[in-house]
Structure 1
Amino acid sequence: MRRFERYGVLITGAGRGIGEATARRLAGEGAHVLVTDLDGDRAEKAAAGIRESGGDAEALSCDVADRASVEAAVAYAVRRCGTLDVLVNNAYDCHPDAPLFEDETDEIWHRDLDITLTGAYRCARAALPYLAAAPDRRGAIVSIGSVNGEQDFGNHAYSAAKAGLASLTRTLAGHAAPRGVRVNLVAPGTVHTDAWAGRESCLEAVAAHYPLGRVGLPDDIAAAVAFLASKDAAWITGTTLPVDGGILISQPAFRRALRGE
């Protein structure tokens, strides 16, 4: 099924991980995908891999922390694709917490929020007029949130940014709906990406806490993004879709305590 035939798609942070998997999925369903990443070489490598598999993809370096860079990427996507139908906000930054909250720095707080939340705001602001002009009311924004935005999994700044992104999804959905643009968010649980390199043992330990018995894969998230971006989700907007292996409904330690284990 090629749900994105003749669609123009822009994905941020798409040089690897969830962004790359999403680019591959949408290109595989017919989209012309602009793979953007702060690292232009990484973006080109991802786009080349898509082309080798028969997909239609180009690469462009884009810094979501810079308004001019974002606006240039959107303009390039429209020029190359002829239309912009889908924006996927995937770029993020996440720094580890200091041992004590009072030792957290302003620099880390601002960096995580600027890339993860304000970066998505910049991209949506630049893209919205073009998404509203997409034919057949097919314009869509899908942002990558996190279960960290729903409950405590650590990382103060990153979690606050993801919670803010879920709120922006709801408010922007209300604003954009009369213009024919849907706005939704996918909230992944733990996903095995390059960010976990060298910490595979931690992933194995975490997997035991997931009701479905494993951590996620980038393709799990890409499938959810493809659904929300497609006309299959034509009557869905302003929602947060957890794609989390059940972790948000799971309290294994609490259940063990009830059983006296």
Structure 2
Amino acid sequence: MTDPNTCFDGRRGRFDGYGVLITGAARGIGAATARRLTAEGARVLVTDLDEDAARATAKEIPGAEALRCDVADRAGIEAAVAHAVDLFGGLDVLVNNAFSCAPHTARVEDLGDESWHRDLDITLGGAFRCARAAMEHLAASGRGAIVNIGSVNAEQDFGNHAYSAAKAGLASLTRTLAGDAARRGVRVNQINPGTIRTRAWAGREKSLEALAASAYPLGRVGEPEDIAAAVAYLASRDAAWVTGTTLRVDGGLLAVNTSFAAAVDGER
């Protein structure tokens, strides 16, 4: 198995002088992204609803600061953006990573209104609120970028009605924001990860192994660092002519029907 960390050559400088705000950054993809961008010179504000975890993560990352932020709270988001601008002298990159995902229900009738509204409000509404609050500062930077963290659930049925609808909505918001922001020199893109080894899968190693073998052409599930590397590309000037796109980082999950191929091979 290839270690995703070996894909990063340790070079610095791509984000020298950049100020970055990441939501939902205490753990998983958000924390990995904070580590990656600071390793390339950025200063990062690690925000999360779990303030203690955010501070613990930021403490381990040179160039990172922490702040509690609830993306359901417009005033709290605006305060977080203002704090980042004060800390860094501006804001260059926003990474919308915070989300909510209610447990999957076997029948849609069992999904309550509260779960539906929460998933959409945090996952989709939160990204909108953050983009709205950050846009003028991103435009002022002259190199502003927003990277939204979506999901393969936005493109295919993997369960979780509300979460999937919110991620699909996020892809649409990415496109409309890109059109709005392009005139101000701000790029907006989305990443749709496949299965990523985060704490949501803690204690379920056998399930991850089964998924890697049966669903993923590249033979493994993703690591947070795989997504962080894609964020680093889309947030950087290397992607200066990329906006309004959704980049799949899914190990080939959506491109190759492995179960179909296995069934056909079994008949040969």
Smaller-chain TM-score bracket: over 0.9
Which secondary structure state, in structure 1, belongs to the residue aligned with residue 170 of structure 2?
Answer: helix
The unaligned stretches of length 5 or more in structure 2 are 1-11
CA-atom RMSD in angstroms: 0.9
Deviates more, 1:26-35 or 1:93-102: 93-102
Matched, 1:214 2:250: no
Which residue of the partner structure matches residue 104 of structure 1?
111
User: Residue 16 of structure 2 aligns to which amino acid in structure 1?
Assistant: E
CA–CA distance in 1 between the matches of 2:163 and 2:195?
14
User: Residue 265 of structure 2 aligns to which amino acid in structure 1?
Assistant: R
Which secondary structure state, in structure 1, belongs to the residue aligned with residue 183 of structure 2?
Answer: helix
CA–CA distance in 2 between the matches of 1:42 and 1:260?
48
Which residue of the partner structure matches residue 129 of structure 1?
136
CA–CA distance in 2 between the matches of 1:252 and 1:80?
48
**Deviation by residue 1:176-198 (Cα, 9 ceiling, x = unmatched):** 00100000001100000111112
Structure 2 counterparts to residues 78-227 of structure 1, below 5 A: 78-134=85-141, 137-208=142-213, 209-227=215-233
Which residue of the partner structure matches residue 9 of structure 2?
none
The unaligned stretches of length 5 or more in structure 1 are none
Which residue of the partner structure matches residue 233 of structure 1?
239
User: Residue 120 of structure 1 aligns to which amino acid in structure 2?
Assistant: A
Which secondary structure state, in structure 2, belongs to the residue aligned with residue 71 of structure 1?
Answer: helix
**Deviation by residue 1:68-95 (Cα, 9 ceiling, x = unmatched):** 1100000000011101000000001111
Return the match for 2:256 from 245, 250, 254: 250
CA–CA distance in 2 between the matches of 1:229 and 1:216?
20
Shift of 1:2: 1.6
CA–CA distance in 2 between the matches of 1:258 and 1:196?
31
User: Residue 204 of structure 2 aligns to which amino acid in structure 1?
Assistant: R
Which secondary structure state, in structure 1, belongs to the residue aligned with residue 130 of structure 2?
Answer: helix
Which residue of the partner structure matches residue 57 of structure 2?
46
CA–CA distance in 1 between the matches of 2:94 and 2:259?
39
CA–CA distance in 2 between the matches of 1:185 and 1:171?
12
User: Residue 217 of structure 1 aligns to which amino acid in structure 2?
Assistant: E
Which residue of the partner structure matches residue 34 of structure 2?
23
Which residue of the partner structure matches residue 64 of structure 2?
57
Which residue of the partner structure matches residue 4 of structure 1?
15
CA–CA distance in 1 between the matches of 2:262 and 2:221?
21
Q: Percentage identity across aligned positions?
A: 71
Which residue of the partner structure matches residue 69 of structure 1?
76
Deviates more, 1:156-165 or 1:96-105: 96-105
Shift of 1:119: 0.4
CA–CA distance in 2 between the matches of 1:24 and 1:200?
25
Which secondary structure state, in structure 1, belongs to the residue aligned with residue 196 of structure 2?
Answer: coil
CA–CA distance in 1 between the matches of 2:51 and 2:107?
36
**Deviation by residue 1:212-247 (Cα, 9 ceiling, x = unmatched):** 000000000000000000000000000000000000
User: Residue 93 of structure 1 aligns to which amino acid in structure 2?
Assistant: S
User: Residue 139 of structure 1 aligns to which amino acid in structure 2?
Assistant: G
User: Residue 185 of structure 2 aligns to which amino acid in structure 1?
Assistant: G
CA–CA distance in 2 between the matches of 1:194 and 1:168?
27
Which residue of the partner structure matches residue 8 of structure 2?
none
Contact 2:105–2:160 under 8 Å retained in 1: no
